[in-house]
Amino acid sequence: MRNTNKNEKKPLKNNMGFYIALGICIVTIAAAAWTTYGSVLEYQSDSTDGTDSSEVEAAEDVSGESYERSLLTDDESSAEGSQKESSEQKAETSAEETQTESMPAEETPSEETSKSVVFPVADAKVMKGFSVSAPVFSKTTSDWRTHGGVDFEAPKGTAVCAVSSGTVKAVGNDPMLGNYIIIEHEKCTARYCGLSDKGVVSEGDNVEAGSTIGYVGTVPCEVLDGDHIHIETLVNGDVTDPVVILENRHK
């Protein structure tokens, strides 16, 4: 009987030891798991902090300023540069406007486009000049005589113009000088000789400088000199060189 009880108590004692050992293992495993979990959390935290620090360090420029601050500075610099350029452009525009305003206005050309005195024919070329002090030879009369006017070379039919504005005083014919017209101008009295029979103006007509008064015809006493118009001028009753009047040299 005693042997039987001893054998039944021994397995119970062995089971208690097994449970104790199992509990210790469970506690040990739990402790190890907790420690591992804490290490993982710490590692993740350190890793995150290290990455941020590296990015910040990598983002720093040579001046040591952070990337964000550099961006702000660049934006401000860009804004300041734009404002400066705008101010300079406004200053240049203002200077140009001021210069334009300060420049004197261009003189407006006179409305008077025509001269007050013109030559009697286009492309006027003097064939025989004025000479009252020294006689000149005449091919037509074969003698020497004074020449109280100026002969302007021009083909027959060429328009003859009034040398300046005036009033027609007479229209007639002279055996030596041919058909003529006398016009009272402001500075002189002019006689246009050697006109054709084609009449244009009449006594009493008012004419303007450059207006057609007749056409080139023939000067009987100078017929051998070639086609031309003969003009004589008087200033205050004195015979005057027509070229002096035409070139505005008479005062």
Q: How confident is the model at residue 69 (pLDDT cuts 50, 70, 90)?
A: very low
User: What's the fold here for domain 125-246?
Assistant: Glucose Permease (Domain IIA) (2.70.70)
Task: Report the alpha-carbon angle 116-117-120, nearest 5.
Answer: 140
* SS3 category, 46: helix
Average pLDDT, whole number, for the chain?
74
pLDDT at 27: 74
Can you give the length of the chain in residues? 251
pLDDT at 73: 40
Boundaries of every domain in the chain: 2-59, 125-246
Residues 167 and 205 sit within 8 Å (Cβ to Cβ): yes
**151 vs 71, which has greater pLDDT?**
151
Q: How confident is the model at residue 20 (pLDDT cuts 50, 70, 90)?
A: confident
pLDDT of residue 146 exceeding 80, the answer is: yes
Nearest Cα neighbor of 207 from 240, 159, 247, 243 is 159
Overall average pLDDT of the 136-150 stretch: 92
Residue type, 122: A
Residue identified by tokens 């001046």 is 63
**107 vs 225, which has greater pLDDT?**
225
pLDDT at 166: 96
Q: How confident is the model at residue 61 (pLDDT cuts 50, 70, 90)?
A: very low
Of the listed ranges 39-43, 97-101, 217-221, the one predicted with least confidence: 97-101
Q: Please state the separation of Cα 149 from the chain's center in Å.
A: 52
76-96 pLDDT, tens digit per residue, is 445 555 555 555 665 565 555
d(CA 251, CA 243) in angstroms, rounded, equals 13
Give one word for 109, left, alpha or beta, with left for phi > 0 and alpha for psi -120 to 50: beta
**pTM, 2 dp:** 0.54
pLDDT of residue 105 exceeding 90, the answer is: no
Q: How confident is the model at residue 36 (pLDDT cuts 50, 70, 90)?
A: low
DSSP secondary-structure letter at 107? Answer: P
